[in-house]
Amino acid sequence: MPAEQVVTDWLESIDLPWNALLQVGVTSVAAGTAWFALLGFVAYRTRAGFVAPTAASQELGSETPALAHLITNRWECGEEAAEATLVDMAARGYLDITRVGPQPEQAVCSVKDMWPPDLTPYERAVMSRVERVAGSGAAPLAALAHGSPSEAEFWLKDFRTQVVQHARSLGLSRSRVSTNVRVALVSAALVPGAVIAAVAAASLGHGVFALLGLLAYVLLARSVWWVQGERDTDAGRQAAARWLGMRKYLELHPSFAELPPTAITLWHRYLAYAAALGVARQVLRVLELGPGDDHKAWSSYGGTWRRIRVRYPRRPSWGWAPSRAIVTGIGWLGWAALMVFLTREWFSVEWVTPLAIGVTTVAGVLGTTYLSCGVVDLVAPLYLDGVVLRVRERTRFTPFAKRYEPKRSRTYVALDVGEGDTTKAWVMAPSLRYNAAEGELARIKVGRCFGQVRRHDTVRHSWERPPATASEVIEAGDVPPAPPYIPAMTLGSDTPSPF
């Protein structure tokens, strides 16, 4: 007998009643819920604890700025650690940061002392990055972040690894989940996997369905690696308390927030630690060694420097045009009406009634929601004024696209309107996707429900200087004339370089 016929006969002999499938589904959901509750408990117990700061103090500790940033940032090493390390190396005389224009961005960096012996591995990484870009000359600060995003991300990941290794060697940090705990969790995943395998084999009437338990075990065991990172130690908590006290001292001097990187000539290593602790925000804005974080941005729109968290909604309908939402809502309502029409003669059948009610209810709710939200986006949009923080193009997943077809993508734009520390990333309409630029002041018209930007007007471009206020004009008459304005220097731009 051919193998195809054997497989066909075997499949036809398997009977899968709905109650058996329901029993397997309920068991899988219950076992998965119990497992993720255990995993959530482990994640909660291994998180970095709260550290109370000591009294404000100006005493510098022995830790490097990168280590100070790690232990005061809840044991998470961000891009700020690399930028603070660069400033610290300049304060120690290994690098030179020279101002060449009136704007904070108009400064160049060069190497003064190549490869001193007391550098840590992550400080060598910063030195190598500066040396590769500047060579034997000087390079604009903005040029240090140039390169492909993948290369910059790889460099930053290696930098973070070296900082963590240094912190572990000093006893300031440890792995969030130890090897023994991971082994125990992977072993514990056998329990829900075995339960799912037993119920599937018994309910579906064939031992081959026990493979569902094996699949469940693989997925649950793989989820153990979701809980990763660093956590505190006793020595790390003591050091973090000292550095948080230093942060309190630095925050007593509001001028730190506006100091440029060239202020190291006055503040020396204090400026580096201020950057590491998040106080020297102007320094962090100007310096950018790694790729720009899509979910974090600095903004002074509204009068004060703030770190803004950018959220990218993941709803499938986010970015829809009002017309598409209205058509979709009408389609769902039509589907609900069709279900009522088709099943009115079958309500006497026991299993048809709950199925028809459920499908009709879901279709009716979806249709009403899409239709009402589409109308709201059409007749009552939001008009927002602010500074553009992030412009990101993301590829959309299209499972049925052919290999030779171009990938579909959408452009997200995040706007800071000067209120709060969180903003959404709106989706530009296809006709406007290349209009926005980071750093510009813009006015947009966006839908309230689905977040599509249907109009974009640039108020001031990112390369234009803001108009001088009346007080600045009056003060300018009492001081020597300012040097001529030099546009911000970036490699690859059309702006002539002043050097």
Beta-bridge partner residues of 391: 413
What is the amino acid identity at position 138? A
Segments of 254-305 assigned E as strands: 296-299
pLDDT at 464: 63
For the chain, report the end-to-end CA distance as a whole number of angstroms: 84
Measured between alpha carbons, how far is residue 220 from residues 27, 43, 181, 192, 335 in Å?
A: 15, 15, 15, 9, 38
Between CA 379 and CA 104 the distance in angstroms is: 44
pLDDT of res. 6: 52
The per-residue pLDDT for 459 is: 86
- This prediction's pTM: 0.61
Angle formed by the axes of helices 121-134 and 79-91, nearest 10°? 80
Residues 6+ apart with CB under 8 A from 362: none
pLDDT value for 396:
61
d(CA 276, CA 289): 14
> Contact 391/437 with Cβ under 8 angstroms?
yes
Q: What is the pLDDT of residue 372?
A: 93
**Alpha carbons 111 and 232: distance in angstroms, whole number:** 35
- Of 435, 431, 434, residue with least CA distance to 456: 435
**Beta-carbon contacts of residue 483 (< 8 Å; ≥ 6 apart):** 101, 102
pLDDT of res. 458: 87
Coil, helix or strand for 312?
Answer: coil
- Whole-number Å distance between alpha carbons of 247 and 233: 20
Q: What is the pLDDT of residue 251?
A: 87
What type of residue is 35?
W
Going from the first residue of the chain to its last (499 residues), give the mean pLDDT of each consecutive group of 10, the final group possibly shorter: 55 61 82 90 87 87 92 89 93 90 82 86 92 80 66 85 94 90 90 87 74 87 88 92 91 85 89 91 82 71 74 87 93 86 64 73 90 93 88 65 56 87 89 80 91 89 58 46 34 29
Q: What is the DSSP secondary-structure string of 129-198?
A: HHHHHHTTSEEEGGGGG-S-HHHHHHHHHHHHHHHHHHHHHTTS-EESS-HHHHHHHHHHTHHHHHHHHH
Work out whether the CA dihedral 180, 181, 186, 188 comes out positive or negative: positive
